[in-house]
Every structure is written in C-alpha cells, then in structure tokens.
Amino acid sequence: MTEIRFPLPDVGEGLTEAEIVQWRVAPGDAIALDQVFVEIETAKSLVELPSAFEGVVTELLVTEGATVDVGTPILVVQTADAAPGPSAAAAPAAAAPAPGVAESAPAPAVSAPAAPPATVASHAPAPSEGGGAVLVGHGSSGPSGTRRRQRHPAPDVAHEHLAERSAPRPPAAAADRPAAASAPARAEATFPVIAKPPIRKLAKDLGVELSRVAPTGPMGDITRDDVIREASQASVFRNIQTPEQPTDREDRIPVKGVRKAIASAMVQSAFQAPHVSVFVDVDATRTMEYVRRLKASTDFAGVRVSPLLIMAKAMIWAVRRNPSVNAQWTDSEIIVKHYVNLGVAAATPRGLIVPNVKEAQAMTMVELATALEQLTLTAREGKTQPAEMANGTITVTNIGVFGMDTGTPILNPGEVAIVALGTIKQKPWVVDGEVRPRYVTTIGASFDHRVVDGDVASRFLADVASIIEEPALLLE
C-alpha cells in the first residue's frame, strides 16, 4: 500500500491559488479513477477536480473555505499502486476498475525499496499521453450528460400533439387521473398548459413561455417556483420578493476568487485602454416579428429564441464588414482576427463572467441559438470552465433584461469592442411622417480608441443597427 499526497494542480490557466469550496469525499471513503472528489473556486470559475488514482481517502489536509496555493497537498489517499506517472497514465482504460471499487486488483510484483508517502508531482496527462485520469478540460472523457433535459417534442411529434390538442377529449374520471408523483412528466406531453391566472401573469411579466416550463404541481400544474426557475436571468427575481432586513449592521465579504478577478480585469481595462462610446436608437419592430416567426418554426422547436440571438448574428455580420473591431492590441502590433469567438456577459451568483461561443461566424442560426442557450445554462449552474472564457474576440452584454435602456460597458480585457443591447419596448416613433407605436431599443458600444477610430466605430454600430431594423439583410 502506498500513501499519495495529492497537490492542488494548476487547472490550465496559469492560476496561482484556489479556494476549497466543497469536498465530495471524506476520510475512509473509497475513491475511483476519474471520480470528482473536490470543487475548487479559482479566479475564473468553479472547477471540479477528478481523481488521478484509486484507493481509500485517509485524510483531508485542507478545510472547506480555505484558500491554498497551487502545489499545496490537499488530500491523502492510500492506494495499492505507486503514484501515477506517464507510463501509468498510458495504461489501457480496461485496467481501471468500475466506480465504487475500493481497491484495484493486485499489480504484478515489482521489486522496489520502501518509500515515504508520495506526492503527485503533476496533474493528469495531456491528451497526447493517452488515457487515464484527466482534469477538467484536459484529456479524454466519456460523453457528458446534458444539463437540461429536452422539454419539447421533435418536429414530427409536435404535429401529433397539435392534432391531439384540436380533438375533443372526454373528461377523465377521478380514478383515471394521474398520480401526483408522475404528473409533471405527463404534463410535458399534454395540452393545454395548466396554470392559475396569477402564475400566467407572473410568466408574462418575466417573459417566460409557459409551454417551455416543466410543471411540478401536484396535478401537473405550473407553480410560481417553476416559472421563476425558467426565467431568463436569475437576478430579475430580486424585485419580486423583498428579503427580511438583516439583523447584522454590516457584512464583510472577502475579496477573492471571481470577484477579485473581475475587479483586477476592470481596473486593467479601464485604465489601460482609452474607451470611446457611441449610441444609437433603433426601431426593432421587425426583429421582434422575426423572433416570433422563429419561435413558431419547427426548426427551432426546443431552442430558446430571443432578440439576443439576432443581435449576435448582427454583430457577426458587422464584424465581417468592419474587421478591425474584432482585434487585439499589443505594444508592438494589432492582431486582427478573422474568426469570431463571441463573448456573452453573464450575471451569475458568483459574479459577472464572460464565456464565449467559439467560431460563432461559422454557425447557422439554429446552431448559434443552441450554443447561446447552453452557454447561459452552464453559467447559471456555475459550471463554466476557464477554457470557455478564454480567447474571446468581441463581446455583447444584454442589459435590457434588467430593464435598462443603455449603458457604457467596459471592454473585456484583450478585446477592442463590446456592444450593449438595451431593453426593447414600445415607444412613439415617426414612420413615413406619422407617429406610430414601435418596438424601440438603444444600442451602445465601447471601443479601444488605440485600435478603433471614430468612423470605424460608427460604421460598425450602424451596421449592427441596420440588422436590428431589418433582419432580412442577413440573407445577403
């Protein structure tokens, strides 16, 4: 038996420290290969660490909530094998035991002198080193399960439901009514949606489609909590309920983790890149009509469609016409990038993060909508990985979901342009000499004036506005 002292690894972004958020194992527990044994919070994200060995946990060296430097031992495991090295990591996957097995089968006898407790020198091997245990974002892994189950039927199934919906149904007898435990599952496949008037009003106020909500009520009905969970931004709920006044006179929140990283990045961006901001009011009526048509399309069944999708497409189109806004400044050169890793500013319980959709310029409308939805869900769950926030080229922030008309966003470090989409609401608008009610929004954008001159900034924002005014231009 060998004792292994596992050090806190660098998860791949050159980070120097991390906070132990939650242990998934306790002393005496068996630990399997690739089993997640701890959650850590780095300056960029919440990361789950998988085990690179198997055995029995003998000691947890760091308490939850403590911040430790990379390389500090955090766990002691007793294993039948020696500490894993490159050759051990390259062993066939078949040699790994099934999860839950305390110890592996005895390895062939090897003549070696007794050694003190070992410390793992590094984390899992790179993908080129073969199979074996891997850290998040590195090496091989099995197919990951989806974080959100599909609520909508496939297009062909949807037509069957519509046919069922139009056909009259006799009232069900009390004995035929579904049990409460299985009601939510059946409610997803039946029409109409069951929700009380106050719940319907709440859904309307929050912009939630009730057909997309998974009911959890005892009779398959949609509850208030169901609607709140489905709402597009968690922070929108803060104005619905007023919390009790805290008994403490003040709170002291340590500046660490994501909040510390946000502060550092914003100071760096604000004082190193000379910002210039421009704004434009836009008639977004046709965008709202286009969004409604997409929602009704069978091609977008089960995919969330919002004005942010049209804004993302507009920015990609405008970048192609004004490539210098999709660039990076260095002291010696300006790097213009001919691909778009579209960053989306996401407000999460852990703070503001900016994950990005890789190669967004090559995606269809459906692919981009799916990618944006998955990115948002991952961010809300706190599962965004550092690699998902790296190498962004341009960013959009949707402040309209908070009811804001516009703002002056600060650049994401390493980028030279960011666009803010304001709220879209009906306002008086002059059309052909007549004042009519139209859906109007204000688009704001900030640029790094070292790279983007005023004329380029204005042309880029005008191009974005032209798509919001007339989405048909995307068909060029």
Per residue, the 3-state secondary structure of 165-205, as one string, reads HHCCCCCCCHHHCCCHHHHHHHHCCCCCCCCCHHHHHHHHH
Query: How sure is the predictor about 428, in pLDDT bands with cuts at 50, 70 and 90?
Result: very high
Does the pTM surpass 0.85? The reply is no
Q: In this prediction, what percent of the chain has a pLDDT beyond 90?
A: 30
- Tell whether the model's pLDDT for residue 242 goes beyond 90: no
**Level-2 CATH architecture, domain 257-475:** 2-Layer Sandwich (3.30)
Over residues 15-26, the mean pLDDT reads 84
Dihedral, 362, 367, 372, 375 alpha carbons, nearest 10: -90
- Tell whether the model's pLDDT for residue 158 goes beyond 50: no
**Level-2 CATH architecture, domain 2-129:** Beta Barrel (2.40)
pLDDT attached to residue 67? 85
Query: How sure is the predictor about 43, in pLDDT bands with cuts at 50, 70 and 90?
Result: low
Any idea which fold 179-231 has? Answer: Dihydrolipoamide Transferase (4.10.320)
Over residues 463-471, the mean pLDDT reads 96
The residues annotated with a catalytic role in the active site are 449
297: part of which helix (H) or strand (E)? none
22-26, 251-255, 317-321: lowest mean pLDDT where? 251-255
pLDDT attached to residue 154? 44
β partners of residue 418:
395, 446
Query: How sure is the predictor about 476, in pLDDT bands with cuts at 50, 70 and 90?
Result: low
Residue 368 CA from chain centroid, whole number: 14
β partners of residue 448:
275
CB 320 within 8 A of CB 314: no
Task: Look at strands 342-344 and 394-398 and give their pairing.
Answer: parallel
Model pLDDT for residues 172-199, shown as the tens digit of each residue: 444 444 444 444 444 444 456 788 777 8
pLDDT attached to residue 117? 54
Q: How far apart are CA 366 and CA 305, in angstroms?
A: 9
CB 263 within 8 A of CB 255: yes
pLDDT attached to residue 113? 45
Segments making up each domain of the chain, as ranges: 2-129, 179-231, 257-475
Q: What is the mean pLDDT of the chain?
A: 76
CB 329 within 8 A of CB 448: yes
CB 45 within 8 A of CB 353: yes
Model pLDDT for residues 281-304, shown as the tens digit of each residue: 999 999 999 999 998 888 888 888
pLDDT attached to residue 381? 78
Residue 333 CA from chain centroid, whole number: 32
pLDDT attached to residue 136? 42
Model pLDDT for residues 128-157, shown as the tens digit of each residue: 344 444 454 344 444 444 444 444 444 444
